[in-house]
Amino acid sequence: MNILVIQPGFPAEIPLFVRGLARMGARVYGVGDQPPHALPATAKEGLSGYLHVQKLWDAGALIQQLRNWSIPVKLDRVECFWEVAMDLAAQVRQAFRIPGLDPETTRLFRNKDLMRRRLDEAGIRNPRHAAATTSAQIRQALEYTGYPAIIKPVSGAGSADTYRVDHPDEFQRILPRLRHIREVVVEEFVTGTEYTFDTITVNGKILFYNVELYRPDMLTARSQEQISPMTISLRDLDQPHFHAALRMSQSVITALGFQTGFTHMEWFHTPSGEVVFGEIAGRPPGGDSGELMNYTCDFDVYNAYAEAVTKGRISQNIGRKYNVAVVFKRAQGQGKIQSIEGLNELAKRYRPHILREELLRPGAKRRDWKQTLLSDGFVILRHPDLDKTLEMADFVANHVRLRAGTG
């Protein structure tokens, strides 16, 4: 199988998918705007060829350059693991008549209003919602959804420009902050626990899935700096709400016409026991989620994905053995990290269960927590027992502290 990967070297985890495809026997070609020497070694290892383009975002020019590129094969698939390049990938598929997400289907994944409308038609439980482009329309939409509500860009990412509105006065206050967004979607605010539902799917059928708990919900994690957000990849999915989430996720995939590859969904479990759909992306989850899946299942998710795509099956044994927590830390203060406390105590208590500790060290400049969930570093730990996992994660959240300063 001959596969073209758009931007095979970025974001950081993408080379692992590229290498996985090659290990499964695919010939993988890449096109991207990173100069060849800047490609990570793992990506280079997987690539049979690479076309460096100056401007990745001009679809017409990109397609022309791909036509002029003399690779000795006919492409069977175009893969894209990066949200912002999903539309571009769809245009390339269309131009070369390659199966997979076409531009129209991609819009269902990229536009939260179109997505929800299609899912409403399929009878999937969505929050009440309405799209709006003017403040009058937002006001009208808020009357329809009721309070609390969420206002967010119709094609957002990373919870940017996403606001919870509890009261009409609050809408007045946030209105100026919405000016730069062309279209928003207003939604009923769903109170509940927020989870992911990630799948490897073949011909529209889920072959592998994994669920992560966001603790706290992503909006809170992304808007309150003093929090140490955590994601817990869950071991035991044999529970009624996860069964319901699996049924819902399968229905979503069917309703949107997704065929083969990774999907990344988000959903809520409400206190009344309802399972409510959040959103779907037609690509793998970002960050180190693949690693969390590997630590949970003791397998190789990149190979599993690649086998699914190239051979239509997953033959590895998948043992769900551990709950895996990643806890992201944000330093107190601005500037450079000056000190870390609590690491000795953490090691003393939980050393055998700690997989990775990659906190910024003194002297390092703080990262922008608004831009990256990674924040000032993370600790990953795992345990077969969920309560124990949460106890350890809470210890990292509450007792490991980074301080920063400008001195």
Ligand X SMILES: Nc1ncnc2c1ncn2[C@@H]1O[C@H](COP(=O)(O)OP(=O)(O)OP(=O)(O)O)[C@@H](O)[C@H]1O
Stretch that binds ligand X, among 198-206, 211-219, 227-235, 394-402 (CB under 6 A): 211-219
Establish if 287 lies at the interface with ligand X (CB under 6 A).
Answer: no
DSSP string, 166-196: -SHHHHHHHGGGGTT-S-EEEEEPPPSEEEE
Binding site partner of 156, from Mg ion, ligand X, none, Cβ cut-off 5-8 A by kind: ligand X
Tell me, residue by residue from 242 to 281, as one string, x for binding to Mg ion by CB under 5 A and - for no binding. Answer: ------------------------x---------------
Q: Is 157 in the site for ligand X (CB under 6 A)?
A: yes
* First and final C-alpha spacing in the chain: 56
Distance between CA atoms of residues 373 and 381, nearest Å = 17
Residues 125-144, interacting with ligand X (CB under 6 A): 127
Q: Least distance (Å) from Mg ion to the CB of residue 113? A: 15
Give the chain's largest Cα–Cα span: 62
Are 31 and 63 spatial neighbours (Cβ–Cβ below 8 Å)?
Answer: no
Report if residue 86 touches ligand X, rule: CB under 6 A.
no
* Neighbour tally for 60: CB within 10 Å: 9
Q: Which is nearer to ligand X, 152 or 383 (CB)?
A: 152
Site for ligand X (CB under 6 A): which residue of 178, 218, 255, 301?
218
Pick the binder of ligand X from 13, 113, 198, 217 (CB under 6 A). 217
Nearer to Mg ion, 8 or 285 (CB): 285
Partnered with residue 327 across adjacent β-strands are 230, 379
Return d(Cα 2, Cα 77) in angstroms, integer.
Answer: 7
Residues 6+ away with beta carbon under 8 Å from 137: 130, 131
Which pair of tokens denotes residue 217?
A: 């919900």
Q: Is 277 in the site for ligand X (CB under 6 A)?
A: no
Dist. CA 283–CA 262, nearest whole Å: 5
Per CB under 6 A, which region of 155-163, 229-237, 289-297, 395-403 contacts ligand X?
A: 155-163
Write out the two tokens for 155: 């094609």
- By CB under 6 A, name the one of 33, 279, 300, 358 that touches ligand X: 279
Residues of this chain that bind ligand X (CB under 6 A): 127, 150, 152, 156-160, 162, 187-190, 194, 217-219, 266, 278-279
